[in-house]
Amino acid sequence: MTDQTWIPEGVDPERPSIARIYDFYLGGNHNLPADREAARHVVELTPELPDIMRVNRAFLRRSVRYLVGAGIRNFLDLGSGIPTVGNVHEIAQGVDPTARVVYVDNDPVAIAHSREILDGNDRAVVVHGDLRDAAAILADAEVNRLLLLGLGEPIALLMSAVLHFVPDDDEAAALVAAYRDALAPGSYLALSHAAHMPESAERNERAAETYSRTVAPMKLRSLEEVTALLDGFEIIDPGVVYCEQWRPDPEDVVAARDLLPQICVVARKP
Ligand SMILES: C[S@@+](CC[C@H](N)C(=O)[O-])C[C@H]1O[C@@H](n2cnc3c(N)ncnc32)[C@H](O)[C@@H]1O
């Protein structure tokens, strides 16, 4: 790639980034040779990885539409990524232009590109933050201004393909609980997560180990382990399932074959 003017100052181009690797898998152009190199190592072990990312994005779209249908107009998207086709504000505002979205990410490229595409949209904003610091995210002025958190308004908290980057089970559970406690009753959580799947466990664990070593620590979790993170929520039908099983839409059917190792769930705070 010759044009690298999109790279914000301070980014080390030699260090692969979670956000830019994901962009590469989705066919975007905000990635660098170091990202593509790391991505290829992992794909050698799990060739279906780009398909996993696609079923993840398809779940994100279906769940946001479901949530707008359930009356939600405010979205807090943690680990939102580099914008690509079908961003949350496009989906939600496509159904109801009054919908509001706060994106949060800790990757400078994701932040810079999000700012660019959100310019002029007064109902969507991006915040540079670390979702592991729930207190800081929840105290953020933009988060509060746009989502009216203090006014008891129900929101949807999105944690799409990000919680597997919090490998410690206790920390992951404590984080979900901290956000849950700040949400008004009637709020929702939509979560997707890299799966430890019995059928393909050995292969996928090897890919996760490679990713942990070369990019960032991550942990695959089973259906039971993801369910254990949802304390205090009511799980919406069809439950904690693999992404293709969550309210499938004919638009998203890829091909008849085994389920992909990506778990998803929508849950509601009573
Ligand atoms: C695999 S991408 C998922 C993007 C989007 N949520 C989706 O599902 O299409 C994970 C994103 O989470 C971000 N991320 C990882 N750890 C984070 C953290 N501790 N705080 C904020 N963002 C984080 C990465 O920078 C990346 O953009």
Give, for all 270 residues of the chain, the pLDDT tens digit: 446 778 888 899 999 999 999 999 999 999 999 999 999 999 998 898 989 999 999 999 999 999 999 999 999 999 999 998 889 999 999 999 999 999 999 999 999 999 999 999 999 999 999 999 999 999 998 898 888 776 788 999 999 999 999 999 999 999 999 999 999 999 999 999 999 998 888 989 999 999 999 999 999 999 999 999 999 999 999 999 999 999 998 887 665 478 999 999 999 999
Q: How many independent structural domains does the chain possess?
A: 1
CB 109 less than 6 A from any atom of ligand 1: no
Q: Is 52 exposed, middle or buried (0-12, 13-18, 19+ CB in 10 A)?
A: buried
Distance 25 CA to ligand 1 centre (A): 14
Indicate whether 59 belongs to any domain: yes
Is 61 part of a structural domain of the chain? yes
For residue 13, the one-letter residue type is: P
Question: Minimal CA–CA distance to 35: which of 47, 46, 22, 44?
Answer: 22
Sign of CA pseudo-dihedral 74, 122, 105, 37: positive
Which of 11, 15, 22 for mutating ligand 1's site (highest number of atoms within 8 Å of CB)?
22
Cis link prior to 47 (omega < 30° from 0)?
no
Q: Is residue 167 part of a domain?
A: yes
CA atoms of 112 and 120, how far apart (whole Å): 15
Q: The domain that contains 67 carries what CATH number?
A: 3.40.50.150
Mutate to test the pocket of ligand 1, among 106, 159, 176, 193 (most ligand atoms within 8 A of CB): 106
Query: What is the pTM (predicted TM-score) of this model?
Result: 0.96
What domain range includes position 58? 51-195+217-268
126, part of any domain? yes
Residue 99 maps to a domain: yes
